[in-house]
Structure 1
Amino acid sequence: MRIDKYLWCVRYYKTRNMATEACKKNQVTLNGNVAKPSKDIIPGDKITFRKDQITYIIKVLAVPDNRVGAKLVDLYRIDETPIEAFEHLEMLKLSKSHYRKFGEGRPTKKDRRDLDDFEFDFNDEENEIE
């Protein structure tokens, strides 16, 4: 089976076209070598690819005939991705949400002025302490 089709079948990519594009952009390696979308895979191969700021490492156990359900994915691959990668992604999400809540968009003029005033007040307090 082609590597792009396999990545689509085991639900790492939503569409087969997305998997093909990832291969074309050299984001997918097979056993340490950059893989083209048409590269065939066999059980025992190790696939490494980067998606959503995480470098996934999976080992092929079997080749499915078609796209499989989410509950059956573990029959066809072993996920060897380090847990630290997922924790790092979680920290990135938390740091972004700390600054600005999701869905609020760009800062308004009032927000910017409030931030400028806050920074100015903070700097004044530092000068008074000295």
Structure 2
Amino acid sequence: MRLDKFLKVSRVIKRRSVAKEIADKGRILVNGKVAKSATDVAVGDKLEIKFGNRTTVIEVKNLLDSTKKEDAAEMYVILSEEFAQKDNFI
């Protein structure tokens, strides 16, 4: 399954166009390598997604062509979530 479609169907990112834009800017790594929106995703892959000041690492558990909202969470597991530190200058 394409990376951008997986992110949309799993509801990690709401719109496929946004997922495509983020991937094409090099802000998503699949198994440690920079991925484009057309990169194939398989069960067991680890995705590192950079959202602004937050980096989330997820593992793909299941691939479904379409899901209901309650089933989307079964497609992945969050391994870690880190927030970038901001310097507080006064």
TM-score (normalizing by structure 2)? 0.84
Matches within 5 A, 1:101-116: none
Matched, 1:38 2:38: yes
Q: Structure 1 pair 63/23, CA: closer, same or farther in 2 (3 Å)? A: same
| Percent of aligned positions that are identical | 28
Structure with greater Cα Rg = 1
Using the TM superposition, give the Cα deviation of residue 67 of structure 1 relative to its aligned residue in structure 2, in angstroms: 4.5
Return structure 1 stretches of 4+ with deviation > 3 angstroms.
Answer: none
2:11 maps to amino acid: R
Q: Distance in 1 between matches of 2:33 and 2:25?
A: 13
User: Which consecutive unaligned segments of at least 5 residues does structure 1 have?
Assistant: 96-130
The CA distance in 1 between the partners of 2:80 and 2:58, in whole Å, is: 7
Q: TM-score, normalised by structure 1?
A: 0.60
Secondary structure of 1:80's partner? strand
Q: Over aligned residue pairs, what C-alpha RMSD do you find?
A: 2.0
The C-alpha deviation readout for 1:34-53, integer Å capped at 9, x for no partner, is 00110111100000011141
Secondary structure of the residue aligned to 2:13 is: coil
Q: Shift of residue 9 of structure 1? A: 1.1
Matching residue's letter, 1:78: V
Q: How many residues align?
A: 87
Asked if the contact 1:26/1:35 (under 8 Å) is kept, the reply is yes
- Counterpart for residue 57 of structure 1: 57
- Bigger strand share: 2
